[in-house]
Chain A
Amino acid sequence: MNETRRRRRGNAVFWAGALLIAAFVAIAVIGPMVFSSSANGIDPLNARKSPSLSNSFGTDGFGRDILARVITATRLTLLLTFGASIISFAAGTFIGVVVRLLGPRLQGAILQVNAVAVAFPALILALVVAAILGPGSTSAMVAVGIAGIPMYIRLTSTLAAQVVNEDFVRIAELQRVPRVVVAIRHVLPNVAIPLSVAAANSTAFTLVELSSLSFLGLGVQAPEYDYGRLLNEGLAEMSSQPWGVFGPSIGMVALGLGILLFGDGLAAMVDPKMSAPQGAITRFIEKVKSGTRTSTRSTAEPEPAVAVENLSIGTISEAGDRHTLVNGVSLHIAPQEILGIVGESGSGKSLTAMSIAGLAPNGLWRTASGMRIRETDMLNRPAPSVLARTVSLIYQDPMSTFSPSLRLESQLGDVFREHMGWDRDRIHRELLEALTSLSTPNPERVLSQFPHQLSGGLLQRCLIAQALLLDPELLIADEPTTALDVSVQADVLRKIYRFRAESGASILLISHDLGVVEELCDRVLVMYRGEFVEELTPAQIRTRNVQHPYTQRLLDATLYLEAAREGGDR
């Protein structure tokens, strides 16, 4: 629903831009026929008149009507802009596609030189051409057109490179279809859309650059005039007739805005992600059901460390329609117990875990009749420093868990700096010790490196080491091994085991891998479509002694995969 909204918005922007451009085209076609006499007729008696009914923008130093001149200038401005754009676009895309057809070495050399050319401001390249050809409208158009070519070469060859690697192009090449045919039939159509978006945007720059040249006196020469030239002339008598500046400025800005809107709208229609993001529509809602907070469950089991009663989570649309994702689940975890939640993706297991941690995504509603981790009532908005020491988390993709631009020690240490008041030395000492206790080789180096320099297994180990130091009541591990190589998975699971042994914490392990769960957990909850459908022991999984058909299917799938894996090993 979000997407269609954006698309519609893109449409509106697109049509606003298209209308503006169409209006300018109409003015360019009709304007000079109607207004050329008042635009060019010299009338010294009416010089520098203020705006009036007959001259809405006033008159310039020669008594010519400024509005009429702006309208007349539209034709030349548009012609030159489109002319220059066509030169850049045609030459740039042509060379860009041809370069892709060349051998790798020549291609590399050309692209390298092109990269240098792209780095120069287009205006400087345009000055070079203007210096060669001398001032004038045609030479300005050619100059700006040529200056725009390197950008298109780069864009086309980058886009083409993506397409060339697609299967259908490879197949065509295998079938010995000539390269030129491949380029025209397969590559061009697939780069057409992003190219036209870029073309719309670069036309706006072309307009500005061309008018800049005219403004500098290197473009359109008197007696001809475009917006830039008009502005140049208006500048000289700015103090006596400001409308000489305002008039062409208005034309310039409106035309530029039209082209930009057109391009933005086009981009938004093609790819909603490219349009400017709108403010989030959904609001953050957190509701706590009153009453029934008292622990109704009085069982013979030891007092659970974690108790969640009747947790529901869902989305709410703008219209207020609620959609439930997690439906009234309850769970308990004893101290030092490892509880697993298994289920397919989208079953709500991560959402449940994150809600227990108080980290549910924004825009969701959440209700529960009770949520407690040891003495901390999680429904009562505990202080951040309490939360930080109550729940620790390990995430699925270790490579994106850490900020790429900070060293590990700096990131791992922040939580201690902020919530435990440790100084730098203590943080360093304790982290080293924790990493060593997890038998990490060369912990000094691990701490001084950036995330991209470390393996996924080591990054997970860093989080486990940090959890050891935080000594939380609950550790939530959300698919901690899914993104890791099989060889490292066992090691990370061992470290989690070690963590359990060394701390008194409860552990909540989320996984879709029954094998992992069976190995590690004391108890397993099966989640299906937002509800717990079955509670199992590892022994039950091993012996396939399960009741619910969904669990049955889950187990079958695992067996099938294992069989396939073993078969593949042979």
Chain B
Amino acid sequence: MTSVHSTVEGRLGHGVPQRLIPAWVGTPWAWFLTRKLGTLVLSFVFLVIVTFSIVLLIPGDAARAAAGPDASLEVVEATRQTLGLNDPVWQRFLTYVGDIFSGTLGTSFRVGTVSEQIAVRAPYTLVVAGASIVITLVLAFILGVGVTVLTRNGRRTWLAQAFSWVTAVIDAVPVYVRGTLLIILFALTLGVLPAGGAQQPSSYVLPIVALAIGPVCSLSRIVRREAESALQANYIRTTEGWRLSGRVVYLKYLLPNVVTAALTLSGLMLSGMIGGALVMEQVFSWPGLGTSVVNAILTRDYPVIQGTILVLGMVAVIINILIDVALAAVDPRHLQSRSDA
């Protein structure tokens, strides 16, 4: 019955005085958060190695690649010095890690430190991505569960069909096509919203809609599929035996189980919205990390590329972990099993 507690207590406490162990040690949540912290550290190490390898893996002469094909020999040599390409690899790695922990993330080839550049641009990306994720979660569950309930037992077949087709078609449209079509419709044709930039609050509307509408469609399809199968579950039959009202059955019994099932399946999709945000920024000339990293790749500003990808990667990892924590809060079974398998 209480296997969690007993095994945990068994694992700890040998040779350590009981009073020195705080009460939270050994609780399922402590173990869970420790594991998640492990994931965070592992992902960070992975990202540091991957971003460090970018310069290492550039084919041919990295200094020449960074300086550009037209640069003079002196410029190439100067670039070689700045990138530290004459140093042995381990020393360059130490410098790289040192830059990360000092908070500068290295120096841009153009202006200032990488972290300064990121600090200016990150809020734009994070606000749009964060708002889109929240909107996606709320809307997808309302739509998915709503359509399931409305079409239950073969009622309103037209709604089921329409939902399937509309979401499938919108889902098949890439984020940059959606964004462009939104600009044509709302900015150029109707003239109600700005086409790009982030000068006024209304500028946020189209980027967020463009980014969220696809995931809303795909997540609500997942939610609907999960809700359909959850409706067949025995615990729903039990609530019918208790003759509970539809409101209680759907909100209290169906929804939490659908949320966990759908979130487990969609964690990657939600963190993938960071990738979508990068593309979206190009459509709306959005002054976020996406436009800056694309620019950096085009101008071969390697420190900026490395720093931005490190930050974006960590944001994706943190989103994943937050989803796992939310899952565990809704359904404690997720405390024990790994939900990312």
In the complex where A277-B228, A403-B256 touch, is A216 in contact with B282 (Cβ < 8 A)? yes
**B297 CB to nearest A CB, Å:** 5
Q: Which of B260, B282, B298 contacts A135 (CB 8 A)?
A: B298
Contacts of A124 in B (CB 8 A): 274-275, 278, 309, 312-313, 316
| Residues A380-404 near B (CB distance < 8 A) | 384-385, 387-388, 391-393, 395, 397, 400-404
Q: Among A116, A211, A260, which residue has its beta carbon within 8 angstroms of that of B174?
A: A211
Q: Decide if B252 touches A242 in the complex (CB within 8 Å).
A: no
> Within 8 Å CB of B50, what residues of A?
128
What residues of B have a CB within 8 angstroms of the CB of A402 in the complex? 235, 238
Residues on B with C-beta less than 8 A from A121 are 271-275, 316
- Contact yes or no, A119 B268, CB < 8 A: yes
A235 and B54 contact, CB distance less than 8 A: no
A280-B154, A400-B235 known; A212 vs B279 contact (CB < 8 Å): yes
State the majority secondary structure of interface residues on B.
helix
Name B234's contact: one of A234, A277, A385, A400 (CB within 8 Å). A400
Question: In the complex, which residue of chain A has the Cβ closest to the Cβ of B279?
Answer: A212
Which residues on A sit within 8 Å (CB–CB) of B151? 279
Complex CA–CA separation, A357 to B221 (angstroms): 34
Interface size on B, residues (CB 8 A): 90
Number of interface residues of A (CB under 8 A): 83
Q: Given the complex of chains A and B, what is the CA–CA distance between A393 and B248 in angstroms?
A: 19
Assess whether B102 is interfacial by the CB under 8 Å rule: no
Is B234 a contact partner of A253 (Cβ separation < 8 A)?
A: no
B184: Cβ under 8 A from any A Cβ: yes
What is the number of contacts between chain A and chain B, taking CB atoms within 8 Å?
220
Task: For B300, list chain A residues within 8 Å (CB).
Answer: 134
Chain B residues within 8 Å of A284, by CB: 153
- The verdict on A406 contacting B253 (CB below 8 Å), with A121-B272, A217-B298, A245-B180 known, is yes
Q: Is A101 an interface residue (CB 8 A)?
A: no
Q: Which of A249, A280, A401, A445 interacts with B238 by CB under 8 Å?
A: A401
Q: Which of B164, B174, B268 contacts A118 (CB 8 A)?
A: B268
- Complex Cα distance, B268 from A414, in Å, reads 35
Of A119, A276, A401, A419, which one neighbours B235 at CB under 8 angstroms? A401
User: Which residues on the B side are within 8 Å of A235 (C-beta)?
Assistant: 180, 283
Q: Which residue of B lies closest to A394 (CB)?
A: B241
Give 1 or 0 for each of B26-66: 1 = CB within 8 Å of chain A CB: 00000000000001001100110011011001110000010
Task: Considering the complex, give the chain B residue whose CB is closest to the CB of A264.
Answer: B168
Assess the A405–B257 pair: CB atoms within 8 A: yes
Which chain A residues lie closer than 8 Å to B181 at the CB level? Answer: 245, 249
With A212-B174, A418-B245 as known contacts, state yes or no: A119 contacts B154, CB within 8 Å. no
A123 contacts the other chain (CB 8 A)? yes
CA distance A391 to B242 in the complex (A): 9
Judged by a CB distance under 8 angstroms, whether B225 is at the interface is: yes
A238 touches B253 (CB 8 A): no
Asked whether B169 is an interface residue with its Cβ less than 8 Å from the other chain, the reply is yes
Contact A414 B332 (CB under 8 A): no
CA distance A216 to B235 in the complex (A): 49
| Contact of A216 with B294 at beta-carbon distance under 8 Å, contacts A384-B245, A419-B243 already known | yes
Query: Would B243 and A384 count as touching, CB distance under 8 A?
Result: yes
Say yes or no for B340: interface residue by CB 8 A criterion.
yes
Q: A455 CA to B317 CA in the complex, in Å?
A: 36
Interface residues of B in 263-315 (CB under 8 A from A): 268, 271-276, 278-279, 282-283, 293-294, 296-298, 300, 302, 305, 309, 312-313
Chain B's nearest CB lies how many Å from the CB of A389? 9
Partner of A257, one of B54, B156, B169, B237: B169
CA distance A122 to B312 in the complex (A): 12
* A contact residues around B234 at 8 Å (CB): 395, 397, 400-401
CA A253 to CA B234, docked complex, whole Å:
41
Does A317 reach chain B (CB closer than 8 Å)?
no
Q: Please give, as numbers and ranges, the residues of chain A lying within 8 Å of B177 by CB-CB distance.
A: 231, 245, 249, 252-253
Distance of A269 from chain B, by nearest CB (Å) = 18
8 nearest CB pairs, A to B: A123-B275, A121-B275, A280-B154, A384-B243, A400-B234, A415-B242, A388-B243, A279-B157
Question: Could you tell me which B residues sit within 8 Å of A by CB distance?
Answer: 1-2, 4, 39, 42-43, 46-47, 50-51, 53-54, 57-59, 65, 151, 153-157, 160-161, 164, 168-169, 171-177, 180-181, 183-184, 188, 221, 225, 228, 233-235, 237-245, 248, 252-253, 256-257, 260, 268, 271-276, 278-279, 282-283, 293-294, 296-298, 300, 302, 305, 309, 312-313, 316-317, 320, 330-333, 340
Listed A/B pairs (19) with beta-carbon separation below 8 Å: A112-B42, A113-B42, A120-B271, A120-B313, A123-B272, A127-B278, A131-B309, A132-B59, A212-B174, A231-B176, A245-B180, A252-B177, A276-B221, A359-B237, A384-B244, A388-B243, A401-B238, A418-B243, A455-B1
Beyond A128-B54, A279-B156, A406-B252, 11 extra complex contacts between A and B, CB < 8 Å:
A119-B317, A119-B340, A122-B275, A211-B176, A256-B172, A278-B160, A279-B157, A283-B154, A359-B240, A388-B242, A403-B235
